[in-house]
Structure 1
Amino acid sequence: MKTKLFMLFFSIFCFQILPAFSQQTTVRGKVLDESELPLPGANVLIKGTTVGTVTDMDGNFTINAPANESVIVFSYLGYLSKEIVIGSQTSFTVRLEPDLSDLDEVIVVGYGTQRKIETTGAIASIKADELVQTPIANVAQGLQGRIAGVQVVQNSSAPGGSVSVRVRGTNSIRGSSEPLYIIDGVQVSNGGGINDLSPLSTINPNDIASVEVLKDASSTAIYGARGANGVVIVTTKRGTSGRTVVTYDGYYGVQQTGKQLDMLDASQFAELENEVYKRVIFDNPSAEGVGTNWQDVIFRDAPIQSHQLSVMGGNQKTQFALSGNFFDQEGILLNSDFKRYSLRINLDHKINDRVKVGTSILGSQNINNSIPTGSTSLDGAAITSSMVGAALGAPPTLQPFDENGNFWPFADQVEGGYREVVNPLGLSAITNTTSTQRILANLFAEFEIAKGLTYKATFNAVLQNDLNDYYSPLYIIGKGDINSNSGTGRKINRDLNTLLHESIISYSKRFGDIHSLKFTGVFSTQSDQYRVNQINASGFPNDATLNEALQVAQNITASSSRQSERLDSYMGRVNYGYKDKLFVDLTARTDGSSKFGQNRHNTEK
């Protein structure tokens, strides 16, 4: 028997589990400035959630909000935020007032800081209290709906799942469109694959003091071609002078599916099968009853918890910040979970009036038990290779377990009539565990050579090791389908070591209240070392040792690779201001990479 027609009902869905509200209402309106002109790109956010949108070129917005006393927060760079209670009203005209005090705020830019009034590029800043308004596992999730021109997409709802960030749209068809991430001066990349573990999940959001997003060419030119997709600068919390403060932050919650898709029960499915194939496949469709609700089989109530202990303090010469965090999130899909253990220390010491040294060290261990949650293809076989797709494609007339309580492959039920789909519990039985150890370290020394003239030397390191364990057991395969290649396992060991040195010299001077001048010069050299060792095996005699004894398999292959790269860069930037009203920025950068031939450089100006 074939069920290709049945599979059409679910093949058009995207199988990403989304939170749902019990009742929603559509709210529309327009956001204006103090001169009654529309504000395009203004943020519209449901307070206490990550649900938000931005206004269009005419300042109009549309958003679906819970049908209760929800609060909508309207914000725009350089303007005071405004909160409005929805109530029974569904249409609003919102007027935002300029935030004049915000102009003196100091924000982080590439290789330095500036007053917000002095920035000529498109830079948005998010503070710590905004990032952690709701429980998040990933720094990027905290940006969702809060910055105009920044799109945050949750590729996978699995714990530790990848999050894609697009700054002003997709910039490449074949290459990555992910922005460059700078964490306390250290670069961290994000792959963005649908079933990948996001590197940003290794950072505890509670450790972050601020996030700045550099969006346009003027702001990102300082990072050259690597900043072509935008730059996200993450600054972690540092100690302050005063009494020592000990803080505990924690929460515990339970995650549930907000909604399930309506599917045919066993009687309805049996009746459809008889009608489609014009013959009697089920003698008495009504006798099949409700059958198996496969969504109930794969979904569960999943706890999520986070616990952090931090100590901050210091005196006029030495300040410190120390924190430890444990984060544990079980997935609403069976056998998926993500754990993070992290330890962070930031230390600043003032040797004398002219010399300052400091360090930032972040160590983390992440354990991710992942399962295939979705597919980017609409092909039936690809969809049913994900757990949600397999559950939607599984006939309700079949059973997950036999009469002895053992896993029951579909190939062994009803004479293999539905072998083109798989028992979704088999996908949850596949071991796919990735353990990641990462150390981000930054050491700096800053010297004041003369009044307004400083030199800063930084030494950064990223030390990362990934170990992936994979095993697909024999018992999830139908008895008639087992062969010499059945049962597959592998081990992949990846090492990434990045060393970066930067020498930064800067000079700033004000000439009365009329002119201001600042110069920044940078030399940086970065080396990357990649190493991968992999062993694949298939044809196991049994499932007793999983992938811990790959040598017992009939077929074994091994591979290894090693790669090294180097990047040398020179950069210069001049900032000029006239009466805090007219500002001019000039930036030039040149990069020399080992990816090119000898004496070949890629220049950004």
Structure 2
Amino acid sequence: MKISSLQILLALTLASISFAHDGKAQELLNRRVSLSAQNEDVEVTFKRIEKLAKVQFLFSREVIQSKRKINYQAKNEELSQVLSHILAPLNLSYEVVGQQIVIKRDLAPPTLPQDKTSAELRIEQALDKQITGRVTAENGEGLPGVNIQIKGTTRGTSTDGNGNYKLAIPDEAGTVLVFSFIGYATQEVTVGARSVVSITMAADDKTLNEVVVVGYGVQRKRDITGSVVSVSETALKEVPAPNLLNQLKGRAAGVSIVSNGTTPGAQPQIRIRGNRTLTSSTNPGTGDNLDGPLVVVDGIPYGGLNDINPDDIVNLEILKDASATAIYGSRGSGGVILVTTKRGKVGKPVFSYDGYYGATAIMGKYNVMNGPEYAQFKADATKYNRASPGTTAYPLTPKEQAALDAGVSTDWQSLIYKPGFMTNHQLGMTGGVENTQYSLGLGYFNETGIIPSQNFTRVNIRATIDQRIGKRIKVGLNTLNTLTYTNTPGGGGIPGGLVSLTPLASPYNADGSLNLFRQKVPSMPPGSAP
């Protein structure tokens, strides 16, 4: 038989791939882990090991029975040893596939418990009774691989390719079998005196959420095929800001956020992938920007983001392309912002406080003329006036001349602009029991602008209650109440008005009262510039 050089090269390549795969698997299993688990759910233990060993597990909650408890301690042990000690009592095993570790049910017979002799085990097995049965779907077809376990123990089996099974159970009237399978609702069946137990499993829509899309509802990022930007609570809190949009600046690709003004409480303008119309338009009835995105808070369409307390948010997702329109209709043509707020958790009441205090200052002022410079400017304009040489078209007014003689030179910007202040306080309480969870929040925000007469105040009260009624019904209450107060006299036109005031005017009268009749700089005719 003649072997070509190509065959030799192919064989060496396959051998190298095999060695590399084995090397990577061994490298994962050799990683060291220190762990202490006391009466802990097996799923929680796996998540902790993922972080400690920097690995990823793949498993089904039904297969591993995620609520089973773990009691184990390991100090700088190899991952392979840790997994063997944890999985063996649970009748589970593992397999390394690429960079992931797959957890599966161990179909091999369990080893003899150390605290029982072989004679004691044979006596127990003699007292057991054998039951058989078949597990089918709603259409009558047998379901292979269904997990069947004796409730409260680690003993169990799984169905064959036709859905049939055989299991030895304790000869007790109260023995309960738990049937579980991915995509189907878990069922518990009391055996009683029966020797044949067959069931039909019903599909569970909750476990099929990877193919179910619900508009205005809770959905996962991976459920949407379009372009999605997700921002976590941690990323949002890195930037203390009066509203959510200011916290989002520079953190979401394809999302443009531009400030509309400098007054306190001004809400920036947001555009997702640019304007969706040739000209920006607003709704005459509501004033809503038709080019802006639709805001959905906990599944409910909401108004402006300025009314939402950023401290109440745990997650934010932005839908940027056609998938938003497909789910939410024409209201999502400008994109959709999905906001998820805090909810209660099982456990003792937890109280929290979050607050900050900051100051704002003007970055720079317009470079304007002082009193003598302004007087010289008017003199030069008169001297070099090309339209009427030698005329006195721009003389100082009597009041300005008197102010110049008195040494008046007013810097209006310095008189008006002062440091601004920003304060935020947030009180929260979360807690609950297995069937009832609650979350309460109270927020207060106040911002004073660089113009002292302008300020913005917001008070938020948020409450959520989730109540489970039985196994299939869950009801809840979610309320978000906001009171805002905005005081911005003069709006954003004050900076432009300040630079038009003459510096040869005193801000105060002789008696110390405010001068309410300040003189503006007169406009110069076209073609008369010096």
The TM-score, its normalising length taken from structure 1, stands at 0.46
The match for 1:148 is: 253
* Cα distance change of structure 1 residues 115 and 230 upon mapping to structure 2, 3 Å threshold: closer
Q: Which residue, out of 374, 377, 382, partners 1:272?
A: 377
| 1:255 lines up with 2:360 in the alignment | yes
Out of 420, 433, 436, which is 1:315 matched to? Answer: 433
Tell me by how many angstroms 1:135 deviates.
Answer: 1.6
Q: Which of these residues, 311, 327, 333, is aligned with residue 206 of structure 1?
A: 311
Q: Would you say the 8 A contact 2:263–2:454 is kept in 1?
A: yes
Shift of 1:396: 1.3
State the 1:118 CA deviation: 4.1
Partner of 2:301: 187
CA distance in 1 between counterparts of 2:302 and 2:512 reads 46
The one-letter amino acid paired with 2:395 is I
Contact kept in structure 1, 2:408 and 2:506, CA below 8 Å = no
Match of 1:390 in 2: 497
In the alignment, is the contact (CA less than 8 A) between 1:123 and 1:219 conserved in 2? no
Per the alignment, in what secondary structure is the counterpart of residue 331 of structure 2? Answer: helix
Q: CA offsets, 1:325-369, max 9 Å, x none?
A: 111111111300011111100111111110000111011211111
8 Å contact 2:216–2:296 — kept in the other structure? no
Cα distance in 1 for partners of 2:514, 2:477 equals 53
State the distance in 1 between where 2:509 and 2:215 align: 61
Is 1:281 matched up with 2:386?
no
Aligned to 1:244: 349
Report the Cα distance in structure 2 between the residues aligned to 1:320 and 1:389, rounded to whole angstroms.
50
Structure 2 match to 1:367 = 485
The residue matched to 1:272 in structure 2 has which SS? helix
Q: Check whether the contact 2:231–2:316 (CA below 8 A) recurs between aligned residues.
A: yes
Structure 2 residue 291 is matched with structure 1 residue 177: yes
Partner of 1:128: 233
Conserved? CA contact 1:373–1:388, under 8 Å: no
Matches within 5 A, 1:112-511: 112-172=217-277, 173-175=279-281, 176-189=290-303, 199-278=304-383, 279=392, 281-282=395-396, 291-374=409-492, 386-410=493-517, 418=521
The answer to whether the 8 A contact 1:252-1:305 is kept is: yes
SS across alignment from 1:211: strand
- Offset, 1:181: 0.9
> Are the equivalent residues in 1 in contact too, given 2:410–2:506 (CA < 8 A)?
yes
| Equivalent residues of 2:324, 2:333 under 8 A apart | no
CA contact (8 A) 1:270 1:285 kept: no
Give the distance between the partners of 2:349 and 2:219, measured in 1 at CA: 29
Structure 2 unaligned runs (5+)? 1-98, 102-208, 282-289, 384-391, 525-530
**Distance of 1:310 and 1:135 partners within structure 2:** 18
Name the SS for the 1:140 alignment partner.
helix
**C-alpha displacement at 1:305, in angstroms?**
0.5
Post-superposition offset of 1:313: 0.8
**Counterpart of 2:242 in 1: which secondary structure?**
coil
Residues in 2 aligned to 1:125 and 1:359: alpha-carbon distance in whole angstroms: 26
Change (3 A) 1:117 1:326: closer
User: C-alpha separation between the residues in 1 aligned to 2:218 and 2:300?
Assistant: 16
Distance 2:250 2:472 in 1: 42
* CA separation of 1:312 and 1:143: change in aligned 2, threshold 3 A: same
Higher Rg of the two aligned structures: 2
Kindly state the Cα deviation for residue 202 of structure 1 after the two structures are TM-superposed. 1.9
Partner letter of residue 391 of structure 1? L
In 2 relative to 1, CA 327–114 (structure 1 residues): closer, same or farther, beyond 3 Å? Answer: closer
User: Is contact 2:425-2:445 (8 Å) kept?
Assistant: yes
Relative to total residues, which structure has the larger strand share, 1 or 2? 1
C-alpha distance in 2 between matches for 1:218 and 1:185: 16
CA distance in 2, matches of 1:272, 1:109: 69
Letter in 2 for 1:402: N
Deviation string 1:61-120 (CA, Å, 9 cap, x unpaired) is: xxxxxxxxxxxxxxxxxxxxxxxxxxxxxxxxxxxxxx999xxx99x9844455544431
Report how many residues are paired: 296
Question: Which residue of structure 2 aligns with residue 580 of structure 1?
Answer: none
Query: Offset at 1:277?
Result: 3.2
| Residue 210 of structure 1, CA deviation | 1.1
d(CA) in 1 for partners of 2:100, 2:494: 52
Instruction: Give 3-state SS (helix, strand or coil) of 1:393's partner.
Output: coil
Distance apart, 1:304 and its partner CA: 1.1
Contact 2:293 2:332 in 1 (8 A): yes
AA partner of residue 148 (structure 1) = A
